[in-house]
């Protein structure tokens, strides 16, 4: 437990997918004047230095946000596309938000979900942030304190799975709940399902967004299928988006050394997604797959129902 630190992964392809979806969803929900509550069950540290020690060790942002910001799309593995390709609106918007944290250009500072949400929220909205890791929770509290946002933002050093439903339904009966665990323990998959089932029972009209890794393990494979069943049984609409940047195959080279691919793909599953999300992702996901491709297995998918 707790070996996971998001700083190693900040700005990677999974964050790109998650945060493109988060921003597109928030933009829609914030178009209405009525107050919105955002609940982030697994918040992380909030803000990351991509030139800092943690990010530098794994360099995962190089496969994500930094690759997207590169001037020429790396097309070595991608299908040929007519150049120059205009950025899909959801990607352009994501880069605009990241750019707001980097007025001098580039992406030295990468905003995690708490800072993305805070950046977009209005005075009447609320943000509830859960983070259980002692160090990340302290860092998150310190980062949030600098905003002097007062009662608008609550940082809770509590288990997001069991405690976050206490904010549902919020007084305004409008909420986006992001559930983004690290899945470092196998039980996280079952806990996500239990959490979403309980949350939807308490507050059926909320918008729920779950991130999950696409890796060769049965629990990961089953999670979107089970979420789809849960949504369908509850009579709720759903949307499932995936982004793959490379093969998941473990390769052994001529010298007998085994190379594990790292995270090859991830998905976002939403219950009660905004109706505007699907067309935005239909334009954005194939472009993300092309721009972030590391081999010929790069692809994306989008499916919806309800
Ligand atoms: C993938 S990261 C979150 C990234 C963040 N949502 C973002 O998009 O910037 C998952 C975080 O959950 C924290 N965590 C793990 N178990 C938790 C739990 N039961 N409740 C709350 N936080 C937890 C980890 O310490 C880690 O910081």
Over residues 27-43, mean pLDDT: 98
Mean pLDDT of 111-117: 98
CA of 10 relative to ligand 1 center, distance in Å: 12
pLDDT at 5 over 90: no
Give the distance (Å) from ligand 1 centre to CA of residue 278. Answer: 26
pLDDT band of 79, cuts 50, 70, 90? low
Q: What phi and psi, each to the nearest 5 degrees, are found at residue 176?
A: -115, 125
Token output for 205: 């009209």
How far apart are the CA of 182 and the centre of ligand 1, in A?
A: 6
- Compute the chain's Rg from CA coordinates: 19
Counting from 1 in the atom list of ligand 1, the atom nearest the Cα of 45 is 27
pLDDT digit string, tens, across residues 163-222: 999 999 999 999 999 999 999 999 999 999 999 999 999 999 999 999 999 999 999 999
Ligand 1 center to 245 CA (angstroms): 23
List the residue whose alpha carbon is closest to atom 8 of ligand 1. Answer: 113
Taking the whole predicted model, whether its pTM rises above 0.85 is answered as yes
What's the 133 CA to ligand 1 centre distance in angstroms? 8
Q: What is the pLDDT of residue 81?
A: 54
The pLDDT, as a whole number, for residue 72 is 58
Instruction: Determine the Cα–Cα distance for residues 294 and 289; give it in Å rounded to an integer.
Output: 9
Higher pLDDT, 117 or 72: 117
Residues lining ligand 1, judged by CB closer than 6 Å? 4, 6, 18, 40, 42-44, 112-113, 130-133, 136, 159-161, 180-182
161 Cβ neighbours under 8 A, 6+ residues apart: 41, 181, 191, 192, 194, 195
Sequence-ordered strand ranges (E) for 168-276:
175-179, 207-214, 238-244, 251-252, 258-259, 265-271
Averaged pLDDT for residues 22-46: 98
Annotated catalytic residue within 15, 136, 180, 188: 180
Percent residues over pLDDT 90 in the chain: 83
pLDDT of residue 1: 43
**Does residue 2 have a pLDDT over 60?**
no
Token pair listed for 61: 């942002």
- The verdict on whether 180 is a catalytic residue reads yes
pLDDT band, residue 7 (cuts 50/70/90): confident
Atom of ligand 1 nearest to the CA of 10: 9
Token reading at 201: 């029972």
Q: In a mutational test of the pocket of ligand 1, which residue from 26, 44, 110, 137 has the highest number of ligand atoms less than 8 Å from its CB? A: 44
- What band does 137 get if pLDDT is binned at 50, 70 and 90? very high
List C-alpha distances in Å: 104 to 23, 52, 70, 107: 22, 17, 15, 9
pLDDT at 120: 98
Task: Supply the mean pLDDT for the chain.
Answer: 92
What confidence score (pLDDT) does residue 279 get? 98
Residues 217-239 have pLDDT tens digits of 999 999 999 999 999 999 999 99
Average pLDDT over residues 70-78: 60
Quick one: average pLDDT of 106-122? 96
Closest atom of ligand 1 to 2 CA is 25
Mean pLDDT over 69-81 rounds to 62
- Protein fold of 6-305: Rossmann fold (3.40.50)
């Amino acid at each position: 437990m707790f070996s996971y630190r998001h700083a190693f992964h900040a700005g990677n392809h999974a964050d790109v997918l998650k945060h493109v979806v988060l921003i597109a969803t928030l933009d829609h929900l914030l178009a209405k004047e009525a107050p919105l509550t955002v609940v982030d069950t697994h918040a992380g540290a909030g803000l990351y230095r991509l030139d800092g020690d943690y990010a530098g060790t794994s360099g995962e942002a190089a496969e994500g946000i930094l690759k997207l910001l590169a001037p020429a799309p790396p097309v070595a593995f991608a299908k040929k596309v007519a150049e120059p390709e205009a950025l899909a609106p959801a990607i352009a918007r994501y880069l605009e938000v990241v750019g707001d944290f980097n007025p001098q250009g580039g992406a030295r500072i990468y905003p995690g979900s708490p800072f993305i949400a805070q950046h977009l929220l209005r005075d009447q909205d609320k943000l509830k942030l859960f983070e259980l890791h002692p160090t990340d929770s302290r860092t998150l509290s310190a980062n949030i304190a600098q905003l002097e946002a007062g009662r608008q933002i609550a940082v809770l050093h509590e288990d997001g799975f069991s405690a976050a439903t206490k904010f549902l339904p919020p007084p305004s009966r409008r909420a986006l709940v992001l559930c983004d665990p690290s899945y470092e323990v196998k039980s996280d998959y079952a806990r996500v399902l239990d959490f979403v089932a309980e949350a939807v029972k308490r507050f059926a009209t909320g918008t729920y967004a779950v991130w999950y890794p696409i890796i060769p393990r049965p629990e990961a494979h089953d999670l979107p299928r089970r979420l789809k069943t849960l949504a369908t049984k509850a009579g709720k609409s759903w949307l499932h988006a995936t982004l793959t940047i490379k093969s998941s195959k473990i390769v052994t080279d001529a010298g007998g050394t085994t190379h594990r691919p790292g995270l090859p793909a991830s998905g976002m599953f939403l219950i009660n997604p905004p109706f505007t999300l699907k067309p935005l992702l239909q334009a954005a996901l194939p472009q993300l797959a092309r721009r972030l491709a590391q081999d010929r297995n790069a692809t994306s998918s989008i499916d919806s129902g309800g």
